[in-house]
Structure 1
Amino acid sequence: MTSNSVSRPLNTANSSLVPMLIIGALFFVFGFVTWLNGALIPFLQMVCQLTETQALMVAFCFYVAYVVMALPAAMVLEKTGYRMGMVIGLALIALGALLFVPAALSREFALFLGAQFIMGSGLTILQTASNPYIVKIGPEESAAARIAVMGLLNKAAGVLAPLLFTALVLGDFAHISSASLAAMTEAERSSQIASMSNGLVVPYVGMAVVLLLLAGALKLSSLPEISMDDSDTEVADAGSVLQFPQLVLGAIALFCYVGVEVVAGDTIGLYGSKLGIENATSLTSLTMFGMVAGYLAGLVLIPRYLKQQTALLLSAVLGLLLTALIMFADPQQQSLSFLWGWAGFSEIPDVITYVALLGLANAMVWPSLWPLALTGLGKFTSKGAAVLIMGIAGGAVLPLGYGLLADNAGSQTAYMIMLPCYLFILYYAVFGYRLRRWG
């Protein structure tokens, strides 16, 4: 840790306000970069002429960075401190955005994947620094409220990102889908793809410039360095963090949750494009809108009206119900289209509506699961949190599984991959979180 660390939180409202605004901006960046994938995946499927499995490598390379770079990120923060770690994270994301320029001009899918991994790596450092920072910049008893505000900013960015991508990148090509490209002649298709790919250049250069300006402003800001050292979290010599069933099962549940969250957010555009929906790259915004609505409901209901485990149970049940509806819905039926007129979608099949509503089912899983998994860990809490973070790998693995199923059994049937995930979350909500010893 750098020598200018201080060991106390910023306890006054005035001293916490500026750091809150700065970290809030970073959480908005998290959401924007993360959920941009929902628009990018169907776009690259068209531009690079990919199968669904290949297209979902975009999500895999992004989320696998959380696993590969977790320990290096911690080492970086130990050397640089948390503020400089955030600066480095922003700079890495900007580098990944700039790599999109040669990738777009050459339409080399491997370059796109490399850019995604670099952006994911930058985001790993940024998240590793800013998540504990938001806890430490004010009183411990109000930390949950600060985290809730950050979560809303994250999801709000997720609503905006696909809409902005469609407007800036596709422009006059927003009506293009996989179905319409397949109907073109070879010459028309090549010309269309070249024009679409070139549309990535200016927006991604602009994104890189904004990120670098934000990194520079953060480096020059008055954001204080806060010590994360806590003697109470030193792990005892005896035992292992894996001795706690509620933690290990919670990490598996988190793996399942992040997997279904990414499947819901990142495949809706792919499926919509296959069904011929115009502006399909914007469909992720509908899933994110569901998450925002669920998040707001959770803030009102928990814990006054709902216990955390009850919210987790209801989330799992709703996820199972919606998954069943997705699998057996008529792709041509549009009885629920009226729900999305505000978003500019006039003809949305019900099956797409069910995928979007998964955002509502998923919203409260993360905030409900974490406290249940960490209950009773005592001095093992910090290591337990690290184990839970590894569950983010579900965002890399489950979408690939969906892609393999989609290529072999069809996109609609492929959503069955979510059934065992929601069943495990349901098990954890009913039984798993109660366990305190193995056997």
Structure 2
Amino acid sequence: MVAQRRIAPFVLIVALFFLWGVANNLNDVLIAHFKKLFTLSDLQAGLVQSAFYLGYFCLAIPAALFMRKQGYRAAVILGLCLYGLGALLFWPAASAQSYPFFLGALFVIASGLAFLETSANPLIARLGPEDSASQRLNLAQAFNPLGSIVGVLIGSQFILAGVDHGADELARMPEGALAAWRASEAAAVQLPYLFIGVGVIAWAILIRVTPFPAIATATDVEDDVGAASDFIQLLKRPPFLLGVAAQFFYVGAQVGVWSFLIRYAHDAANTSDQTGAHYLTLSLVLFMIGRFAGSALMARLPALGLLRAFAAIGCALCVFATFVHGMTGVGALVASSFFMSIMYPTIFAESVRGLGPQTKPASALLVMAIIGGAVFPALMGYVSDTSGSIVFAMLVPAACFAVVLLFGVVKARRRT
């Protein structure tokens, strides 16, 4: 699949999918953690994802323009450095016990991830034949949930491992004891993010000293790829815009389900936050299995056909979880992760198919669509706060999966 001389660069870039998976799904733990630490509503807690995915939205086009001048590898290195800086900022944010400071650090992390995703996804797609791009990208993306699992395990073992006081108990706690508890809970995030920050900066150094093929370091200054005209031309392509919309809704669904799974399990099945984190871990395991299974199935089945089937099942499971509560509803949400697995890479690969030199700016717009992860968790938090129950908020990702299904139908019809 990949030429022998590209094996080392391929492995190094695939590892990035693992690294940003760690950051993405630590947010799901942070939502539960910050909700109790700062006494937040569901809408306020959802701002964790809003701040995070706003970074993607704001930095995706600058990342594409940077790639135009410096190439894929330089964008990866800069992205890793920003990721590391944002992780290191968690230390002073915890010392200050400042929720806005944490949100700012998350924005910096996401800014780095915008560079990574804008560069790594198309680079993997172009490290081999175009016809197998979806399969190759699904294989690389299969390592993303492995990082997600590690992120949730880190969060559940080190961040959510403190004493879980109820709201009434906290209200009765003496001021000195409450302050000590808050300081301890805030400090719980420091060491995990310190190790993450140091690790990703070390990976940036490793990528810098490793020889990469010309496609990773080539720039497009001469033929003006990535200029404003490229974005304008892309905006005139309805099939591509449908791909951007599908990515917007898909990411919103994925982030929304995972962000509030711990909360859903607490409300619908009366579990603790740490137990809810275990269900989230199981979800990510199924997501990872789905990625590998999807990559294998695409060797025999059309990618768009598989996408349509998975989107329909994901929609049905979210509707089921809305109206059937308890552990059965939790099980439905956990199972939905298997069917989410192929959506992001398949939408991405099918949207950039045949774009040639416009792949880089197209990748930027697709990464900007990740802003769905900022919009829909906040919307779900609003639905939860106004309805009085998080279970009704699961209708939001159900609607999002319906849009992904529509994308699969329309793209398949245009292909025939």
- 2:344 is aligned to 366
- 1:194 is aligned to 183
| AA in 1 matched with 2:243 | G
- 2:380 is aligned to 402
Distance 1:116 1:382, change over 3 A: closer
Is 1:227 matched with 2:223? no
Select between 221-230 and 71-80 the one with higher mean Cα deviation.
221-230
* Cα offset, 1:35, TM superposition: 1.6
Q: How does 1:22-101 map to 2 (within 5 A)?
A: 22-101=12-91
Higher relative contact order, chain-length normalized (CA < 8 Å, sep 6+): 2
Superposed CA offset, 1:241-300 (max 9, x none) = 334332222221221111101111221123334544241344432221221122222122
| Structure with greater helix percent | 2
| AA in 2 matched with 1:299 | S
* Cα offset, 1:182, TM superposition: 4.2
2:67–2:219 Cα contact (<8 Å) kept: no
2:247–2:347 Cα contact (<8 Å) kept: yes
1:264–1:287 Cα contact (<8 Å) kept: no
Is 1:391 matched with 2:369? yes
| AA in 1 matched with 2:344 | W
| AA in 2 matched with 1:213 | A
* Cα offset, 1:312, TM superposition: 2.0
Gaps of 5+ in 1: 1-9, 332-348
1:233–1:381 Cα contact (<8 Å) kept: no
Is 1:322 matched with 2:317? yes
Superposed CA offset, 1:338-392 (max 9, x none) = xxxxxxxxxxx22222222221121122233345445566776655444333321
Distance 1:278 1:261, change over 3 A: closer
Provide the C-alpha distance between the structure 1 equivalents of 2:254 and 2:181, rounded to a whole number of angstroms.
32
Provide the C-alpha distance between the structure 1 equivalents of 2:330 and 2:102, rounded to a whole number of angstroms.
27
Select between 61-70 and 211-220 the one with higher mean Cα deviation.
211-220
Is 1:176 matched with 2:164? yes
- 1:353 is aligned to 331
| AA in 2 matched with 1:323 | C
Looking at CA atoms only, which structure, 1 or 2, has the larger radius of gyration? Answer: 1
Q: Let me know the Cα RMSD of the aligned residues.
A: 3.0
1:73–1:124 Cα contact (<8 Å) kept: yes
SS at match of 1:36: helix
2:263–2:273 Cα contact (<8 Å) kept: no
- 2:196 is aligned to 207
Superposed CA offset, 1:389-422 (max 9, x none) = 3321111111110011111112111111123222
Provide the C-alpha distance between the structure 2 equivalents of 1:311 and 1:378, rounded to a whole number of angstroms.
25
Q: Percent identity?
A: 29
Provide the C-alpha distance between the structure 1 equivalents of 2:315 and 2:256, rounded to a whole number of angstroms.
14
Q: Tell me the matched-pair count.
A: 403
1:159–1:285 Cα contact (<8 Å) kept: yes
Provide the C-alpha distance between the structure 1 equivalents of 2:318 and 2:15, rounded to a whole number of angstroms.
34
| TM value normalised by structure 1 | 0.82
Provide the C-alpha distance between the structure 2 equivalents of 1:195 and 1:329, rounded to a whole number of angstroms.
37
Superposed CA offset, 1:194-214 (max 9, x none) = 222112222222222222222
| AA in 2 matched with 1:255 | F
Distance 1:433 1:250, change over 3 A: farther
Provide the C-alpha distance between the structure 1 equivalents of 2:279 and 2:139, rounded to a whole number of angstroms.
24
Is 1:291 matched with 2:287? yes
Superposed CA offset, 1:320-348 (max 9, x none) = 211121111233xxxxxxxxxxxxxxxxx
Provide the C-alpha distance between the structure 1 equivalents of 2:126 and 2:356, rounded to a whole number of angstroms.
19
Provide the C-alpha distance between the structure 1 equivalents of 2:364 and 2:51, rounded to a whole number of angstroms.
20
Provide the C-alpha distance between the structure 2 equivalents of 1:221 and 1:432, rounded to a whole number of angstroms.
39
